């Protein structure tokens, strides 16, 4: 994960350099789209890394006795992180003190394409989260939840194991696909950047090609100087 993150960060720096040098609108638009794509991937990988670290550092703590509290109102949960393995899609919800309330106060209901979470009487409030239209079907019987230190972990068992989910929900997939540029991108970020520049170069006129060549050479020289300093 660290190696992939480093590669993404290097790609981002190179795109920024090229963007500074580019003057043609078409070139700038394509590089801006690639920059946004790489920044999103970096954010997702850092979030996944943070969630894994929190899970590894988790230690069992004795449950505190909490007096019944009358729930004031229900808060909708909008912030969460998610990850996956061959068998599970894992959703992480951070709720301070959730490990100190009775386990029966944390309820999750699963269907084949959805789940809803309800946390009752946590610091005088209830918390709810409903996720519909999951990207792929899940096994209701194989799905479960775990309560960890300040975290609720929801485990959605994949019906089709060893398949990758690129998005958590169908809606997210449709929204992201609408934002994609018209040109093709590869799974590997470096290959995606190369293909973008190659397509612009091949379709461009002499001025555009000179602009890309100049920016590319200058970015490589800058990167080489940076490597020498380390």
Taking CA atoms, 164 is separated from 41, 44, 70, 90, 222, in Å, by 16, 15, 42, 13, 37
Q: How far apart are alpha carbons 172 and 181 in whole angstroms?
A: 16
Local confidence band at 11 (pLDDT 50, 70, 90 cut-offs)? confident
DSSP conformation class of 65 = P
pLDDT at 138: 96
Q: How far apart are alpha carbons 5 and 183 in whole angstroms?
A: 24
Are residues 108 and 116 in contact, defined by beta-carbon separation less than 8 angstroms? yes
Across residues 51-57, what is the average pLDDT?
A: 72
Arithmetic mean of pLDDT over the chain: 81
**At residue 21, does pLDDT exceed 60?**
yes
> Is the domain 74-175 a CATH 3.40.50.300 member?
no
Strand 74-76 vs strand 81-84: parallel, antiparallel, or unpaired? unpaired
Local confidence band at 58 (pLDDT 50, 70, 90 cut-offs)? low
Q: How far apart are alpha carbons 136 and 144 in whole angstroms?
A: 17
Q: What is the CATH number that goes with domain 7-51?
A: 4.10.860.10
181-209 in b/e burial notation, b at 16+ Cβ within 10 A? eeeebeeebeebbebbbeebeeebeeebe
Q: What is the pLDDT of residues 100-157, one digit of tens each?
A: 999 999 999 999 999 999 999 998 899 999 999 999 999 999 999 999 999 999 999 9
pLDDT at 5: 76
120 Cα distance to chain centroid:
28
Cα diameter, the chain: 75
pLDDT at 152: 96
Across residues 206-223, what is the average pLDDT?
A: 73
Q: What is the pLDDT of residues 160-214, one digit of tens each?
A: 999 999 999 999 888 888 876 655 544 566 666 677 777 777 776 777 777 777 7
Q: Could you tell me which residues come within 8 angstroms of residue 179 by beta carbon, excluding any fewer than 6 positions away?
A: none
**Which tokens belong to 172?**
């997210």
Map out the domains of the chain as residue ranges: 7-51, 74-175, 189-225
Q: How far apart are alpha carbons 111 and 13 in whole angstroms?
A: 43
pLDDT at 230: 41
**Which tokens belong to 19?**
């963007």
For tokens 């989260």, the residue is 129
**At residue 6, does pLDDT exceed 50?**
yes
Which residue has better confidence, 14 or 200?
14
Q: How far apart are alpha carbons 225 and 230 in whole angstroms?
A: 9
pLDDT at 195: 72
> Same CATH topology for 7-51 and 74-175?
no
Cβ atoms within 10 Å of 42's Cβ, excluding its own = 17
Strand 114-122 vs strand 88-94: parallel, antiparallel, or unpaired? unpaired
Nearest to 151 by CA among 68, 82, 64, 75: 82
**At residue 226, does pLDDT exceed 70?**
no
Q: What is the pLDDT of residues 66-82, one digit of tens each?
A: 545 445 688 999 899 99
């Amino acid at each position: 994960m660290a190696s992939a993150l480093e590669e993404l960060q290097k790609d981002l720096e190179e795109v920024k350099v090229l963007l500074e040098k580019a003057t043609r609108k078409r070139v700038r638009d394509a590089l801006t789209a690639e920059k946004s794509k790489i920044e999103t991937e970096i954010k997702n990988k850092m979030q996944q890394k943070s969630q894994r670290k929190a899970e590894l550092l988790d230690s069992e703590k004795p449950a505190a006795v909490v007096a019944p509290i009358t729930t004031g109102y229900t808060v909708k949960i909008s912030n969460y992180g998610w990850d996956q393995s061959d068998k599970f899609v894992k959703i992480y919800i951070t709720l301070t003190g959730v490990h100190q309330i009775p386990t029966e106060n944390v309820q999750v209901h699963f269907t084949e394409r959805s789940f809803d979470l309800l946390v009752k009487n946590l610091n005088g409030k209830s918390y709810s989260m409903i996720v519909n239209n999951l990207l792929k079907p899940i096994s209701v019987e194989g799905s479960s939840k775990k309560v960890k230190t300040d975290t609720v972990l929801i485990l959605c068992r994949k019906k089709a194991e060893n398949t990758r989910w690129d998005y958590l929900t169908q809606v997210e997939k449709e929204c992201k696909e609408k934002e994609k540029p018209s040109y093709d991108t590869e799974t590997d970020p470096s290959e995606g950047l190369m293909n973008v520049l190659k397509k612009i170069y091949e379709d461009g006129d002499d001025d555009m090609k000179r602009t890309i060549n100049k920016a590319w050479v200058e970015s490589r020289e800058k990167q080489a100087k940076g490597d020498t300093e380390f």
